[in-house]
Chains A and B, each alone.
Chain A
Amino acid sequence: MNCKSVQNRLSAYLDRELGGDELLQIRAHLSTCKECRAESDGLRALKSLLGGVPCPEPSEDLCERLTANMMRLRYEEPKRTLKVSAVMFASVAACSMLGTLFFMNSGLAKSIWHGRTPSSGKDLAIAQNGNPEAITGSDPAGPIISAANFVPR
């Protein structure tokens, strides 16, 4: 291994992220090359500096504010929709118990169902997750983040 390839691997070497031949070759090179050893020492010092930076503490009321946010999301948004889904659940179940396929196709059922048509990606995501009773609230004024712009990577 030449100096350039050794130096390119020094961070990984110092982080114990290398193994096998790569590790042995770098170790051997460092024992004979003064320049790469100096580079390695420099990066080790920097790693130590970064690892020791003090951790800033949040202001005392951050926890309270976070909890308040959760309370708002938990009790204001879902409560409304949980009631709706309970009524809907009962209605749909009643319909199926009556076995009136005819009713399901009637304008009344359509209008009930239409009121529950998922209007956001989140409702769909929750439905796909098989947990439709979870938070189904999608108050356009409430959410800071919409499901549409959240792309888990």
Chain B
Amino acid sequence: MLFVGVKNKTAAVDDRLDLFESLMKDSYKPAYGLAYRLTGNAAEAEDLVQETYVRAYRFFHRFDESLPFTSWLYRIMTNAHIDSVRRRGRLRTTSLDTSGNDGATTWDIADQDGSPDRLMLQNSLDEPVQKALLSMTPEFRTAVLLADIEGLAYEEVAEIMKTSVGTVRSRIHRGRKQIRTHLLKHAPQTYRSFCDEL
């Protein structure tokens, strides 16, 4: 009887782990996208994704199933990223020079509304945008990415970053202005042409 109890509980654990695996399979692609934007290159992005899922797995018992898995996962990922940036003290920006042609990353350019010119400009601004993102503090970068690339509301960003909506608002605003300053300095013509296309 005792062993039946243990067996049932083991089965419940197995179900829970099956759930984890299915959530992982549904979320790893967007998670990788965010990791890539946070780190700026494929190798670090994959490391970050792997570390994120290991942490998530170990703390899955704390995950509340009534909440979206990705919010919880992104909180773990952004914490892991901020921790790792702090540990290193500074960002390694050299690896960025090889991004885009490292063979491990393919760019999925979705069909978009808008002129081919605008798309072309958008694509050529991708690298300067990534460099601008990497020049920011991880807190600013995370806030901008969650809002602009993941399309989350400020309240969701605040929940993920465990901070106030006011702080999120300020980080996003100042972060965007930093990106604009960077683009006007490093890719002024392309950026101005992009703005004119709108």
* Majority SS at the chain A contact face: helix
A41 contact set on B, CB distance < 8 A: 195
Contact of B57 among A12, A65, A73, A131 (CB under 8 A): A73
Residues of A59-108 contacting chain B, CB below 8 A: 59, 62-63, 65-67, 69-70, 73-74, 78, 82, 85-86, 89-90, 93
> Which of chain A's residues have a CB closer than 8 A to the CB of B6?
85-86, 89-90, 133
Checking B25, B79, B110, B129 against A49 with a beta-carbon cut-off of 8 angstroms, the contacting residue is B129
Q: Which of A89-131 contact B (CB under 8 A)?
A: 89-90, 93, 122, 125-126, 129, 131
A135 close to B (CB within 8 Å): yes
Asked whether any CB of chain B lies closer than 8 Å to the CB of A21, the reply is no
* Contact of A49 with B125 at beta-carbon distance under 8 Å, contacts A56-B32, A133-B10, A145-B55 already known: yes
CB distance from A37 to the nearest CB of B (A): 14
Asked if B67 is an interface residue, CB under 8 A from chain A, the answer is no
- Residues from chain A with a CB closer than 8 A to the CB of B195 are 41-42, 45
Question: B192 → chain A, closest Cβ, in Å?
Answer: 10
Q: Is A50's CB under 8 angstroms from B148's CB?
A: yes
Task: Count contacts on A: residues with CB < 8 A to the other chain.
Answer: 56
Given contacts A58-B32, A59-B42, contact A11 B2 (CB under 8 A): no
A45→B194 contact, CB < 8 A = yes
Cβ contact within 8 Å between A50 and B129: yes
Q: Which of A42, A53, A147 has the most CB of B within 10 A?
A: A53
Contact residues of A with B, CB < 8 Å? 8, 10-12, 15, 17, 41-59, 62-63, 65-67, 69-70, 73-74, 78, 82, 85-86, 89-90, 93, 122, 125-126, 129, 131, 133-135, 143-145, 147, 150, 152-153
What are 13 inter-chain pairs, A to B, with CB distance below 8 A? A12-B169, A43-B176, A50-B144, A56-B32, A56-B108, A63-B25, A70-B17, A70-B20, A73-B58, A90-B2, A90-B6, A134-B13, A152-B62
Residues on B lying within 8 angstroms of A by beta carbon are 2-3, 5-6, 9-10, 12-13, 16-17, 20-21, 24-25, 28-30, 32-33, 36-37, 42, 45-46, 49-51, 53-55, 57-59, 61-62, 75, 79, 104-110, 112, 122-123, 125-126, 129, 144, 147-149, 151, 153-154, 161-162, 169, 172-173, 176-177, 179-180, 183, 194-195, 198
A-B CB proximity, top 8 nearest = A50-B148, A11-B173, A153-B162, A58-B32, A45-B195, A55-B33, A133-B9, A56-B36
